[in-house]
Structure 1
Amino acid sequence: MYAKFWLPFLLAATPAAAQAQPTAAAAEQPHILAFGDSLTAGYGLGRGLGFAPQLQAALRRHGIPAVVHDAGVSGDTTSGGRARLKWTLDGLPRNPDLAIVELGANDMLRGVDPAVTEQNLDTILAELKRRGIPVLVAGMLAAPNLDPRYRRRFDAVFPALARKHDAALYPFFLQGVAGNRALNLPDGLHPNFEGIKRIVTGILPAVKRVLERQPAR
């Protein structure tokens, strides 16, 4: 059942959700870029129910008036993310105070060599570092039915790159959600509103820690 959870992320090809549009007054508020695939794009969910809007709402409940930009593209791989990173950043009103990088699940589903995944993510993190943008790496874990050697190589990519680039790490973006039907859409595979809520609750402390380390604007 757990292995089947990953299939839609390979097949999904829906447009990315619209980015949050900050007002002029929000220009000096913390800006966060959610850069990922269907998990950050809010696959199968209505407007305002995906990861970016839920994270923004959670931060504001905690007294952080952040603007979270949704840059999730369903079905995206690390190669796709690498190709679109620069124009995504250039389209923002300013450099974000944090980039959450959540990519890799589709590489794993397609059997991409983890060395290729690592190279793409390394390039993404290097570009963010070059621009002075702090990063939170949202890690992925390979499906447990895959070859153990592949799993070890794939799972090791995310913590290794976080260490290399001195980035924060959230080890598994789907912690507590993957394979849990109560936290997925009716197909039993994609995170529903409650599933995204669980993801946000899990990652929120790591997001706050990175933001708290940034100098006030």
Structure 2
Amino acid sequence: MALVYCTAACSASSDEAAPSPVESAEAPATPAALAADTRLVMAFGDSLYAGYGVKQDESFPAQLEKALSAKGLKVSVRNAGVSGDTTAAGLQRLAFALDGLPRKPDLVILGLGGNDMLRGISPDQTRSNLDAMLKELQKRDIEVVLTGMIAAPNLGQDYAGQFNPIFSTLAQQYDAELYPFFLDGVITDPKLMLPDGIHPNPQGIARVVNQISDMVAAELKD
């Protein structure tokens, strides 16, 4: 990985290093009405999904919804991102987030693990938590796109060797579509990142959406 990622990882222990401007609830108190012909997607992750440091209409779920609509899909992408979440926190709230939706989603985009890595949490624990979440989604017969993360170089080769394969292994095990690295082509370009070096700015989020939207659209059209 590029030095910028090492710098980012060394500069903060987690997304909780600064107050989050977005407090994305796991589920709305009163689920918004949804037309029968609208595809429902839940983006379930941490600050990279929640929209840390950007306006809500610039967040990953918001920009993804616009991109999918431009492809001719009638879709609602619900933001279930919570800044600072580890995989353990995500596992605790997953069922509540799903039950708070107006109906079973057609797709869940799952993106957790970055905070585990920044905190140096055991990859075995990260794998176990993600496995449990994917098992819950499989039990509910919900399709999944899994977005992966890559360990920062300063954590060493041993940690990376255990952490990095988690996402591809679980995607194969649960027959989930895999987008290997959420910040691919973004974190190495300072023009696409916020000053903290960890989170993408609106232009960086647009790059991510441009790269992943075809995969998501294909899943919704199946």
Is TM (by shorter chain) over 0.5? yes
- Contact 2:8–2:198 (Cα < 8 Å) also in 1: yes
Matching residue within 104, 125, 138 for 2:147: 138
- Contact 1:96–1:133 (Cα < 8 Å) also in 2: yes
Match of 1:179 in 2: 188
- Contact 2:31–2:101 (Cα < 8 Å) also in 1: no
Distance (Å, rounded) in 1 between the aligned partners of 2:18 and 2:95: 23
SS in 2 for 1:137: strand
Matching residue within 15, 24, 28 for 1:9: 15
The structural deviation recorded for 1:189 is 3.6
TM-score (norm 2): 0.90
Instruction: Report Cα offsets for 1:115-171 as digits up to 9, x if no partner.
Output: 100000000000001001000110111112221011011001000000111111111
Matching residue within 33, 38, 47 for 1:29: 38
- Contact 2:37–2:74 (Cα < 8 Å) also in 1: no
The structural deviation recorded for 1:24 is 3.8
Query: Which amino acid in the other structure matches residue 82 of structure 2?
Result: V
Structure 1 segment 24-103 matched on structure 2, within 5 A: 24=33, 26-103=35-112
TM-score (norm 1): 0.92
Instruction: Report Cα offsets for 1:46-97 as digits up to 9, x if no partner.
Output: 1211001000000001101110000000010000000000100000001111
Structure 1 vs Structure 2: percent identity of aligned residues? Answer: 47
The number of equivalent residue pairs is 213
Distance (Å, rounded) in 1 between the aligned partners of 2:181 and 2:105: 23
Q: Find runs of 4+ consecutive structure 1 residues off by over 4 angstroms.
A: 18-23
